[in-house]
């Protein structure tokens, strides 16, 4: 084990996200580390002596045993049985699919960074942040993780990585449509995502990564698709907006970008089915068994929906609903649709976007490229992706997903007696929180314990407090909230939280529980059963994680 002192958070598993901050070289970088790399993470063809220089410099600042162990791993990486970096081109060229096959220690662990491919199998055990964390990247790109763990973005880390280069990515991988498989043109996904269903693609952020960064990297943002991902040519794409006079306004992507000011909003999206697995454990709903990761947070950029509706002739005092249709559809041609209240769409405080940017990048295909609705504070299902059409009318969307799904019912309602018209379509969501670390069943160490998680409420209601219990809800501690400042009534983004607690000697197990309170002082219900419902939506009960306590 590389660092022998107990981890800060007391987990028995290796889990040290702050390891580099503890290394002396970070504070006093040796002069030999001053070099340059390509700004856009281009290929590197010179590994050679520079790596050895770094090792020596690092050795000066770290314990000798540590460095010897580290050096041993690095030497083994350079042995002939490992593909060694050549002094110059050419490197073999691999597709992303080929890289993706190397997703375990058995198949060797390959990762990409920029357009380079690395075999890091021999580094896995030595990874100071823990084997489990680095394996999340196996077969995929490092960038989403380095966005979470910003300490990696330093030259000496890049230099270490460089020693493991085995190839380069093929520059273009056009989709290969397979007749008969409507999902054949779905995009490549990051292998770290926890997949619920592959077709349609539904996957959540790995829970241990959720609370690592306020903004979820795009590749790790949860994905909730109902159908195949539409293939859209941005050059010919048009958004159809029904004007108040009844005519249709057709807008290209360039029209949206040029004719309307860009507005940016940080907003959390949550699937109505987030945490459904806990409901399924009580009585199976036979619907996607989401864990706590069907929620993510991003900075969105786009045109304000109210600007576009104003251009289409609508006035703030008008009434009704704004209905959206996507380009995604089933094999019978039924397109996905949903609506939000006109009042929300037109409110100066509503911040509803037609978004084409996500965390400063072009909207990824899985997240709605080229254009999606971002209706902050409102359930994910109304944030229609691959937006094709906007209409305004007196009625809500007549789609299945507005009328016969994404509604909440009493636990007494069954499929035999359900009256879908009796419950309103979910818009705002209730106050929610979950523990993301430690995970269920983890073994934690006596002494210091760090509990992490997220909390969020719908309707712009800020989370004002998170209470954490280590004894199943008998006593409570206040967690430290680390969310950003938000405007009153427009708190669209989650709060991440952390509790540094003490596990008393002699403790054998713990029931860790969290509950959040929002600005309307709404509380979460204690248990899942009384809010269980046939659709398995709206699980906002206290989140509970049972852990055992043992020695490291």
CB atoms within 10 A of CB 18: 14
Catalytic annotation present for 73:
no
The pattern of x and - marking residues 133 through 172 that bind a second copy according to CB under 8 A reads ----------------------------------------
Which residue is it, tokens 């509503």?
350
CB of 425 to a second copy, least distance (A): 11
**Of 54-62, 70-78, 81-89, 530-538, which segment contacts a second copy by CB under 8 A?**
530-538
Q: Can the peptide bond before residue 498 be classed as cis, meaning omega within 30 degrees of 0? A: no
Question: Given phi > 0 = left and psi -120 to 50 = alpha, else beta, which region is 461?
Answer: beta
Binding status of residue 489 toward a second copy by CB under 8 A: yes
Which residue is it, tokens 């989650």?
494
The pattern of x and - marking residues 261 through 290 that bind a second copy according to CB under 8 A reads ------------------------------
Q: Name which of 251 and 431 has its Cβ closer to a second copy.
A: 431
Q: Among residues 511, 526, 546, 552, which is the contact residue for a second copy, using CB under 8 A?
A: 526
The pattern of x and - marking residues 305 through 344 that bind a second copy according to CB under 8 A reads ------------------------------------x-x-
CB of 276 to a second copy, least distance (A): 14
How far apart CA 161 and CA 113 sit, in angstroms, is 9
Binding status of residue 408 toward a second copy by CB under 8 A: yes
Q: What DSSP state is assigned to residue 150?
A: G
Binding status of residue 240 toward a second copy by CB under 8 A: no
Q: Among residues 312, 470, 531, 547, which is the contact residue for a second copy, using CB under 8 A?
A: 531
Q: Is 150 exposed, middle or buried (0-12, 13-18, 19+ CB in 10 A)?
A: exposed
CB neighbour list of residue 335: distance below 8 Å, 6 or more residues apart: 325, 326, 327, 328, 329, 388
Catalytic annotation present for 546:
no
Binding status of residue 521 toward a second copy by CB under 8 A: yes
CA nearest to 259, candidates 298, 324, 310? 310
Q: Among residues 8, 26, 53, 477, which is the contact residue for a second copy, using CB under 8 A?
A: 477
Q: Which of 51, 70, 156, 271 is catalytic?
A: 271
Q: Name which of 369 and 406 has its Cβ closer to a second copy.
A: 406
Catalytic annotation present for 543:
no
CA nearest to 396, candidates 476, 445, 317, 337? 337
Binding status of residue 475 toward a second copy by CB under 8 A: yes
How far apart CA 74 and CA 13 sit, in angstroms, is 23
Specify the pairing of strand 509-518 against strand 543-549: antiparallel
How remote is the C-alpha of 221 from its chain's centroid? 3
What is the SS3 assignment for 390-407? Answer: EEEECCCCCCHHHHCCCE
The pattern of x and - marking residues 365 through 384 that bind a second copy according to CB under 8 A reads --------------------
Q: Among residues 410, 471, 482, 504, which is the contact residue for a second copy, using CB under 8 A?
A: 410
Q: Among residues 207, 301, 459, 536, which is the contact residue for a second copy, using CB under 8 A?
A: 459
Catalytic annotation present for 156:
no
**Of 60-68, 197-205, 235-243, 526-534, which segment contacts a second copy by CB under 8 A?**
526-534
3-state secondary structure of 356: strand
Q: Which of 15, 102, 190, 224 is catalytic?
A: 224
DSSP-derived secondary structure for 160-212: HHHTTEEEEE-S-------TT-TTTTPPP--TTSEEEETTTTEEE--HHHHTT
Q: Name which of 241 and 517 has its Cβ closer to a second copy.
A: 517
3-state secondary structure of 126: helix
Q: Name which of 202 and 524 has its Cβ closer to a second copy.
A: 524
Q: Name which of 71 and 411 has its Cβ closer to a second copy.
A: 411
Q: Among residues 465, 501, 503, 511, which is the contact residue for a second copy, using CB under 8 A?
A: 465
How far apart CA 307 and CA 126 sit, in angstroms, is 53
Q: Name which of 162 and 276 has its Cβ closer to a second copy.
A: 276
Task: Judge whether 239 and 311 are in contact, CB under 8 Å.
Answer: no
CB of 287 to a second copy, least distance (A): 17
Helices 48-61 & 64-77, crossing angle to 10 degrees?
A: 160
Q: Among residues 162, 263, 515, 543, which is the contact residue for a second copy, using CB under 8 A?
A: 515
Task: Judge whether 430 and 509 are in contact, CB under 8 Å.
Answer: no
Nearest-5° angle of CA 401, CA 403, CA 405? 45
Q: Name which of 448 and 523 has its Cβ closer to a second copy.
A: 523
Catalytic annotation present for 152:
yes
How far apart CA 31 and CA 8 sit, in angstroms, is 30
Q: Among residues 125, 264, 330, 523, which is the contact residue for a second copy, using CB under 8 A?
A: 523
Q: What is the CA radius of gyration of the chain?
A: 25
Task: Judge whether 432 and 442 are in contact, CB under 8 Å.
Answer: no
Q: Name which of 291 and 460 has its Cβ closer to a second copy.
A: 460
Q: Among residues 107, 482, 520, 548, which is the contact residue for a second copy, using CB under 8 A?
A: 520
- Where in 414-433 is the site for a second copy (CB under 8 A)? 423-424, 426-431
Q: Name which of 61 and 408 has its Cβ closer to a second copy.
A: 408
Name the phi and psi angles at 126, rounded to 5. Answer: -90, -5
Q: Name which of 164 and 406 has its Cβ closer to a second copy.
A: 406
**Of 67-75, 134-142, 158-166, 522-530, which segment contacts a second copy by CB under 8 A?**
522-530
Q: How many residues bind to a second copy according to rule CB under 8 A?
A: 42
Task: Judge whether 183 and 197 are in contact, CB under 8 Å.
Answer: no
Task: Judge whether 207 and 293 are in contact, CB under 8 Å.
Answer: yes
- Contact residues for a second copy, defined by CB under 8 A: 341, 343, 408, 410-413, 423-424, 426-431, 458-459, 464-465, 467, 473, 475-478, 488-489, 515, 517, 519-527, 530-531, 538, 540
Residues labelled catalytic = 127, 152, 224, 271, 406
């Amino acid at each position: 084990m590389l660092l022998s002192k107990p981890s800060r958070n007391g987990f028995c598993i290796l889990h040290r996200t702050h390891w580099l901050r503890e290394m002396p070289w970070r504070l006093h970088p040796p002069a030999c580390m001053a070099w340059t790399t390509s700004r856009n993470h281009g290929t590197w063809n010179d590994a050679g002596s520079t790596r050895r220089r770094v090792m020596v410099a690092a050795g000066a600042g770290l314990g000798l045993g540590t460095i010897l162990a580290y050096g041993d791993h690095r030497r083994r990486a350079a042995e002939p049985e490992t593909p060694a970096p050549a002094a110059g081109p050419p490197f073999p060229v691999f597709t992303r699919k080929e890289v993706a096959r190397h997703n375990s220690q058995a198949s060797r662990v390959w990762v990409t960074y920029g357009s380079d491919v690395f075999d890091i199998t021999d580094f896995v055990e030595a990874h100071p942040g823990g084997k489990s964390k680095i394996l999340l990247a196996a077969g995929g790109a490092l960038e989403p993780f380095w966005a979470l763990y910003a300490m990696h973005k330093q030259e000496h880390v890049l230099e270490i990585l460089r020693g493991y280069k085995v190839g380069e990515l093929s520059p273009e991988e056009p989709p290969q449509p397979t007749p008969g498989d409507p999902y054949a043109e779905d995009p490549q996904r990051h292998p770290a995502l926890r997949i619920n269903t592959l077709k349609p693609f539904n996957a959540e952020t790995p829970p241990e990564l959720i609370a690592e960064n306020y903004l979820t990297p795009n590749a790790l943002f949860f994905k909730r698709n109902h159908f195949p991902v539409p293939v859209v040519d941005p050059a010919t794409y048009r958004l159809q907006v029904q004007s108040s006079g009844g005519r249709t306004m057709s807008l290209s992507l360039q029209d949206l970008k040029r004719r309307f000011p860009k507005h940016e909003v940080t907003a959390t999206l949550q699937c109505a089915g987030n945490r459904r697995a806990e409901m399924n454990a009580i009585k199976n709903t036979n619907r996607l068994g989401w864990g706590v990761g069907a929620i993510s947070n991003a900075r969105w950029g786009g045109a304000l929906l109210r600007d576009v509706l104003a251009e289409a002739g609508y006035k703030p005092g008008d009434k009704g609903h704004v209905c959206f249709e996507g380009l995604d559809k089933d094999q019978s041609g039924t397109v996905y649709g949903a609506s939000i209240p006109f009042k929300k769409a037109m409110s100066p405080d509503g911040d509803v976007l037609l978004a084409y940017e996500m965390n400063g990048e072009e909207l990824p295909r899985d997240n709605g490229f080229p254009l999606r609705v971002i209706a902050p504070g409102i359930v994910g299902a109304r944030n229609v992706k691959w937006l094709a059409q906007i209409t305004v009318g007196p009625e809500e969307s007549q789609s299945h997903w507005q009328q016969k799904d994404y509604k909440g019912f009493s636990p007494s309602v069954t499929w035999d007696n359900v009256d879908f018209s009796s419950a309103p379509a979910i818009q705002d969501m209730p106050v929610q929180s979950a523990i993301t670390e430690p995970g269920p069943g983890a073994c934690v160490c006596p002494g210091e314990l760090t509990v992490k998680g997220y909390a969020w409420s719908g309707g712009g209601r800020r989370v004002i407090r998170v209470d954490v219990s280590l004894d199943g809800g008998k006593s409570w501690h206040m967690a430290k909230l680390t969310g950003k400042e938000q405007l009153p009534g427009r708190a669209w983004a989650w709060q991440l939280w952390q509790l540094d607690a003490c596990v008393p000697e002699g403790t054998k197990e713990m029931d860790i529980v969290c509950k959040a309170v929002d600005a309307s002082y709404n509380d979460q219900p204690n248990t899942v059963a009384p809010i269980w419902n046939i659709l398995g939506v709206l699980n906002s009960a206290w989140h509970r994680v049972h852990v055992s306590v043992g020695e490291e």
